[in-house]
A and B are shown apart, each in its own frame.
Chain A
Amino acid sequence: MDRSRLTLRLLKDRVFKVIVIFLCFLSMVPLFLILSYIVKNGLASLNWEFFVEIPKPVGEKGGGIVNAIVGSFLLVIVASLPSIPLGIAAGVYLSEHRGGKVAYLGRLAADVLQGTPSIVIGIIAYLWIVVTMKGFSALSGGIALGIMMLPVIVRATEETLKLIPDALKEASLALGVPYYRTMLKVVLPASVSGITTGVLISIARVAGETAPLLFTAFGNAFMNWNIIKPVNALPLLIYNYATSPYPEWHRVAWGASCVLVGFVLALNLMVRIIVGRWKVQF
């Protein structure tokens, strides 16, 4: 091949590389813009008081968002309690019965549920729980979020268990260990990192959900620990305060955004650490 053609090809190679790197950075720009904007606007309102006090009425200075933090915490707990065991159990079933009809339907159901708009799930929770119990509550909001967590946990469990070598299960069965003990004591412990990752990702996903909480958890200007009463939540507070006409409420909304983003970021960091540290070597 003559020399000039080779130079041309090398040049194309280099141009391609530069374009790829440039586009890669470009795709990260929105994330950094959002993060820097939130931190710039939110950091100013963050102080000790912000984390331990409930909001002050309009016109009064200070106040915090502790009711929303507690509310979000309650909602995540209520959502996790049923969805983690149910999701893991369903995931175990799906990975153990790969070819079956029930497994096919289960997988389809999980995928459809994952694609269902969150506002629709909120309406369902409203009809099922808020209407029957005649009142907005943390319970109804938690159930709505739990339904959203379920498919994420199911699929994460299934995918993790699929990676566990059959040899491991056989080793246990060949020792005369019954099937249920093999699953509980050998297979699940070997998949703990993947399943925990799935759970944390599902929590990160629902922590910022606003739509299903609008007519379930509803929001509450005061502190509430009772799960059958309405509670505030970080995304609800951000929604309500950011759409209000008061500049000091806007500042609180920025601060709350900062807290929420920090929480989600922390969960994602935890996932990284768990994947690295708890990884089971076969």
Chain B
Amino acid sequence: MESTVLKTVSLSASFEDKRVVKDVTFSIPENRVTAVMGPSGCGKTTLIRCFNRMHELTPGARTKGQVFLRGENVYDMDPIIVRAKIGMVFQRPNPFPTMTIRDNVIAGYKLNGVKLSPSERERIVEDSLREAALWDEVKDSLHRRGPSLSGGQQQRLCIARALAMKPDVLLFDEPTSALDPKATARIEELMSELKDTVTLVLVTHNIAQAGRVSDFIAFLYLGELIEFGPREQLLTTPKDKRTEEFLTGKFG
């Protein structure tokens, strides 16, 4: 039996009157890549934005139900602590444009006013960039600004920035949708390496990508969790007809 790090219990989310996530209950196993898969507009992104309480920042957004991080309901915790423990990587790389590469990595500390000693700072910068497989490419240009990097490098910088906070869970919201195939391959490779240290949740509408990198797949359709299970089982012998139809390209 896998140990669970993140668990949702009848989680629903809505914008104004529109319910986009309906009564989702499932558990995300530790040190695994869990893919949340489904056609566009099925509520995948909204679902994971409920995990780190980003959903509630949108005006008119509502959440119902519970999300447990290691047994503690995140809706009883301070959102600021939740977001430090559950990191997020977005669709488009979004490094801080006014900061250098070094400062981007430790932005979570800097922006929160946490003082780091120079040796501590350099260690976090190097460790995080190594973990994000970016160190060798940028170690001589740490003083340059974030946006001077290529798109794929920027995305890995954003991953390093999230890793620097030592999160329990890292949420990837279609992290390769703005990248070319080569940069996409690097990010996917990186995800497989990262799962030894952190639990990953990957939102994707790409079946092939879910097949390449995930260990577990949750199939979401019209806001409902249709099916959840180990990758092989879900991709080859889906239990639900809708999952099968999505996999065979009948819709999506």
Contacts and interface: CB of A to CB of B under 8 A. Distances in A.
B90 A181 contact: no
A175 interface: yes
Given A168-B97, A171-B96, A176 B112 contact: yes
Interface in A158-190: 165, 167-168, 170-178, 181-182, 185-186, 189-190
Interface of B: 52, 54, 57, 59, 80-84, 87-88, 90, 92, 94-98, 107-108, 110-113, 145, 147, 158, 161-162, 165
A280 B54 CA distance: 26
Interface centre among A165, A182, A185 (most CB of B within 10 A): A185
A27 interface: no
Contacts of B84: 175-176
Contacts of A189: 98
Contact of A167 (B82, B92, B98): B92
A193 B232 CA distance: 53
A168 B54 contact: no
Given A99-B59, A175-B87, 12 more contacts: A170-B57, A171-B158, A176-B80, A176-B81, A176-B82, A177-B108, A181-B111, A181-B112, A186-B111, A189-B98, A190-B96, A282-B97
Contacts of B107: 172, 175
B161 to A, nearest CB: 7
A280 B97 contact: yes
Given A181-B113, A282-B147, A174 B98 contact: no
Contacts of A168: 94, 96-97
B98 A190 contact: yes
Nearest to A278: B98
Contacts of B108: 175-177
A177 B112 CA distance: 6
Contacts of B94: 165, 167-168, 170-171
Given A165-B94, A190-B98, A172 B147 contact: no
Interface string A189-218: 110000000000000000000000000000
A7 interface: no
Contacts of A165: 94
18 contacts: A167-B90, A168-B94, A170-B94, A171-B96, A173-B54, A174-B52, A174-B162, A175-B108, A175-B161, A176-B82, A176-B84, A178-B80, A185-B111, A186-B96, A189-B98, A190-B97, A281-B147, A282-B147
Interface centre among A176, A185, A282 (most CB of B within 10 A): A176
Nearest to B171: A174
Nearest to B88: A174
Contact of A174 (B81, B87, B95): B87
Nearest to B164: A175
Contacts of B59: 99
A182 B108 CA distance: 11
Contacts of B95: 171
Interface string A229-272: 00000000000000000000000000000000000000000000
A276 to B, nearest CB: 16
Given A171-B90, A175-B165, A182 B111 contact: yes
Contacts of A173: 54, 57, 83
A36 to B, nearest CB: 42
Given A168-B96, A181-B111, A282-B147, A175 B54 contact: no
Contact of B111 (A99, A172, A281): A172
B75 to A, nearest CB: 16
Contacts of B158: 171
A164 to B, nearest CB: 9
Nearest to B148: A281
Nearest to A97: B59
A171 B57 CA distance: 13
Interface centre among B59, B95, B111 (most CB of A within 10 A): B111
Nearest to B97: A280
Contacts of A186: 96, 98, 111
A280 B146 CA distance: 11
B83 A176 contact: yes
Nearest to A165: B94
Contacts of B98: 186, 189-190, 280
Nearest to A188: B98
A189 B96 CA distance: 10
A193 B87 CA distance: 30
Contacts of B81: 176
Contacts of B110: 185
